[in-house]
Amino acid sequence: MLLKRGAEAELHVEDFTLHPLGKGKVVVKHRVPKRYRIRELDLSLREARTSLEARLLSDAKRAGVLTPPVYEVDRENMRVVMEYVEGRPLKEVLEEMGREERRRVCREIGRYVARLHRKGLVHGDLTTSNLLLTPGGDLYLVDFGLGEYTSSLEARGVDLHLLRRALQSVHFRIAEEAYREICSAYLREFGKGGREVLARAEEIARRGRYIGREERGALLRDGK
């Protein structure tokens, strides 16, 4: 059954036929070819993201973030097979839920991001579409294809900046309140050095438009 046709992948829900006890469902995420880009680039991007996604899903779990277990990575066909999470995208429920519940969820997000960062991972696409909330209140993080193994301040700052931007463009009514909650949980969980990351995220938000020649020179020198 088609679960979702996203921008880069098609997700299907299938029965987990290989399960030794013969039960459960899996999600098959298939990165489809994009004809607008040349073949070499298309193949290398899809390959890299498929492997990266599988590795990061597992490493994130080790870092203390709830992610669906990965059962199979098929680099040939650009498919990742993982456990099906019974839940709803946070995007659909974040604004409806009560204030307290929202605060709890936001704090969980802040903790998740801090745990990833402390273990040298960044997610690369932190949005409320990539978080699933189960009926039992568990929060799952998915969609790691744009992630990275890095401990750079810039990458961490971008990660948080993207999350804030995603909140602003989709949940503008509650964006700032939610982001504040996320940041304070992030600070607590990350510990020393967390402030620097938040400050970098602020700085990144100020770029993007006309930037002075000096600033631009600095960016190029740092090879960012």
Partner 1 sequence: MLCLGLEGTAHTLGVGVVDSEGRILSHVSRVYRPEKGGIHPREAARSHASQVKAAVKEALERAGVDLRDLDLFSFSAGPGLGPCLRVVATAARALSVLTGKPLVGVNHCIAHVEIGRLLTGAVDPVTLYVSGGNTQVIAFEEGRYRVFGETLDIPVGNCLDVFAREAGLSPPGGPGVERLARQGRRYLALPYVVKGMDLSFSGPLTEALRRHREGEDLRDLCFSLQETVFAALTEVTERAVAHTEKKEVLLTGGVASNLRLREMLEEMCRARGASLFVPPPEFCADNGAMIGWTGLLAHLHGVRQRVEEAVVRQRWRTDEVDIPWRR
Ligand X SMILES: Nc1ncnc2c1ncn2[C@@H]1O[C@H](COP(=O)(O)OP(=O)(O)O)[C@@H](O)[C@H]1O
Residues that bind partner 1 (CB under 8 A): 5-8, 34-38, 40-41, 44-45, 124-127, 129, 146, 158, 161-162, 165-166, 168-169, 172, 204, 206-211, 213, 216, 219-220, 223-224
Q: Between the CA atoms of 45, 49, 52 and 56, what dihedral angle is there, to the nearest 10 degrees?
A: 150
Nearer to ligand X, 85 or 162 (CB): 85
Of residues 64-93, those binding ligand X (CB under 6 A) = 68, 82-85, 89
125 part of the active site = yes
Distance (Å, rounded) from C-alpha 183 to C-alpha 188? 9
Contact range with ligand X by CB under 6 A, out of 95-103, 129-137, 167-175, 198-206: 129-137
Strand (E) or helix (H) holding 4: strand 2-5
Helix, strand, or coil here: 1?
Answer: coil
Binding partner at 9 among ligand X, partner 1, Mg ion, none, C-beta below 5 to 8 Å by kind: ligand X
Residue holding tokens 């995220």?
201
Find the shortest distance in angstroms from Cβ 60 to partner 1. 17
Pairing assessment for the beta strands 88-89 and 79-83 based on DSSP bridges: unpaired
Asked if residue 147 binds ligand X (CB under 6 A), the reply is no
Report the length, in residues, of the chain: 224
What CA–CA distances, in Å, run from 111 to 80, 116, 117, 138, 155?
A: 26, 9, 10, 13, 17
Pick the catalytic residue from 15, 59, 125, 138.
125
Residue 158 vs 198, nearer CB to Mg ion: 158
Using DSSP, state whether 63 is helix, strand or coil: coil
Select the residue interacting with ligand X from 102, 130, 156, 181 (CB under 6 A). Answer: 130
What residues line the site for Mg ion (CB under 5 A)?
A: 129-130, 143
